[in-house]
């Protein structure tokens, strides 16, 4: 069945059909232009847990999202679908999360893996499992990329998209990362975990094909991360405090977006940690930080990137934790819909 056939009898103004894929859309991974990989994983989370529930929560909330987009006529026809949530990954992650919590408690009390056998065993087990997860995601992504699909990822914590980045590196000679985040994520093996959520960009920069990292909205970082960002010529950081100062001095957001876009290469991977937003929009995320962006601010930035004819070759949204209500997931689902559509537009996908 083709994408055109699936859209023929679909009513985008009706209620979301839960028999269909994410957002109630009438596509399958075979007919969709963009395929989403859900990763329910949060093993190395060091503060509040819950992000492993993010993919399912976003999926559930997606059926309440209106498909009409005033800026993209017939946006729903672009075509996206989500792969099934991998129950094995979820189970392994839940088991290792309990062990990692024990490790982190010991670490916080001053103990180290070099002198504690139990900690060393957990550290090795977690690092090995994360390595296998990266390979799993890389293979899933390559399967879709080899079919000509655009691939996105929904976490889970921010460690999850490394495999997708590695897959894209096999398809592109060079590309940059646009990171929207409260945190720099440039720590080397944070708390002893090589693939920590706080180390994702440190690890990403090991990929030779990644030629630049543009960080936007950063407002929580350590001195080592600050020094690294200053000394590595590939990294450009637009700190939240500097963005706010420019706004207070009267600089329009449009002008600041232009400055960000100027630092981006032609091909971009977008990595979006939900805590890049103001925490009123994501109060249950793993590590909320005061400050951050409004929803429409980041959508505007991504729209300007697409208008500048940049290509978003893939993206991730992560650190959505549903908490006790649907608020975070509602925000995450709407963000996913907007970014997915803009990503497809940047790759030349048509609605016809």
Determine what percent of the chain is predicted with pLDDT higher than 90: 90
What residue ranges do the domains of the chain occupy? 3-346
pLDDT of residue 47: 76
pLDDT of residue 3: 62
Read off the pLDDT of each residue in 121-138 and give the average, rounded to a whole number: 96
pLDDT of residue 249: 98
pLDDT of residue 17: 84
pLDDT of residue 233: 97
Distance CA 155, CA 55 (A): 6
Report the range of poorest mean pLDDT among 15-19, 40-44, 109-113, 335-339: 15-19
Q: What pTM was estimated for this model as a whole? A: 0.95
Determine what percent of the chain is predicted with pLDDT higher than 70: 99
Distance CA 141, CA 23 (A): 21
Q: Which pLDDT band, with edges at 50, 70 and 90, does 266 fall under?
A: very high
Pick the CATH number of 3-346 from 3.40.640.10, 1.10.540.10, 3.40.800.10, 3.40.50.2000: 3.40.800.10
- The answer on pLDDT for 1 being more than 60 is no
Q: What spatial distance separates the first Cα and last Cα of the chain, rounded to whole Å?
A: 16
Read off the pLDDT of each residue in 219-224 and give the average, rounded to a whole number: 97
pLDDT of residue 157: 95
- The answer on pLDDT for 46 being more than 80 is no
Q: Average per-residue pLDDT in the chain? A: 95
Q: Is the dihedral of CA 11, 151, 145, 128 positive or negative?
A: negative
- The answer on pLDDT for 93 being more than 90 is yes
- The answer on pLDDT for 352 being more than 90 is no
pLDDT of residue 2: 61
Read off the pLDDT of each residue in 105-128 and give the average, rounded to a whole number: 94
Condensed to tens digits (0 to 9), the pLDDT of residues 145-198 reads 999 999 999 999 999 999 999 999 999 999 999 999 999 999 999 999 999 999
């Amino acid at each position: 069945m083709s994408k055109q056939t699936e859209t023929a009898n679909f009513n985008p103004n009706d209620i979301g059909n839960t028999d269909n894929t994410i957002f109630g859309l009438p596509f399958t991974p075979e007919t969709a232009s963009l395929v989403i990989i859900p990763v329910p994983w949060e093993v190395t989370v060091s503060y509040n847990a819950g992000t492993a529930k993010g993919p399912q929560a976003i999926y559930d909330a997606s059926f309440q999202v209106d498909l009409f987009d005033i800026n993209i006529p017939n946006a729903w026809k672009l075509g996206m679908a989500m792969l099934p949530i991998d129950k094995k990954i979820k189970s392994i992650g839940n088991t290792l999360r309990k062990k990692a919590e024990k490790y982190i408690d010991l670490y916080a009390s001053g103990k180290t893996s070099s002198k504690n056998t139990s900690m060393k065993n957990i550290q090795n087990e977690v690092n090995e499992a994360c390595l296998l997860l990266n390979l799993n995601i890389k293979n899933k992504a390559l399967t879709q990329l080899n079919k000509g699909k655009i691939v996105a990822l929904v976490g889970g914590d921010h460690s999850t998209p490394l495999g997708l980045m590695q897959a894209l590196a096999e398809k592109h000679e060079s590309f940059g990362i646009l990171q929207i985040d409260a945190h720099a994520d440039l720590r080397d093996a944070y708390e002893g975990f090589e693939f920590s959520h706080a180390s994702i960009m440190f690890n990403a920069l090991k990929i030779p094909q990644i030629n630049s990292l543009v960080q936007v909205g950063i407002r929580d970082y350590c001195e080592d991360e600050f020094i690294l960002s200053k000394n590595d010529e590939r990294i450009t950081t637009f700190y939240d405090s500097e963005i706010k100062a420019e706004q207070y001095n009267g600089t329009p957001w449009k002008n600041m977006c232009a400055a960000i876009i100027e630092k981006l290469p032609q091909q971009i991977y977008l990595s979006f940690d939900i805590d890049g937003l103001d925490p009123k929009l994501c109060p249950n995320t793993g590590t909320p930080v005061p400050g951050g962006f409004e929803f429409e601010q980041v959508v505007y930035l991504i729209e300007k990137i697409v208008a500048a004819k940049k290509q978003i070759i893939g993206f991730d949204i992560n650190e959505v934790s549903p908490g006790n209500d649907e608020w975070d997931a509602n925000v995450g689902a709407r963000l996913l819909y907007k970014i997915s559509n803009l990503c497809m537009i940047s790759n030349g996908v048509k609605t016809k």
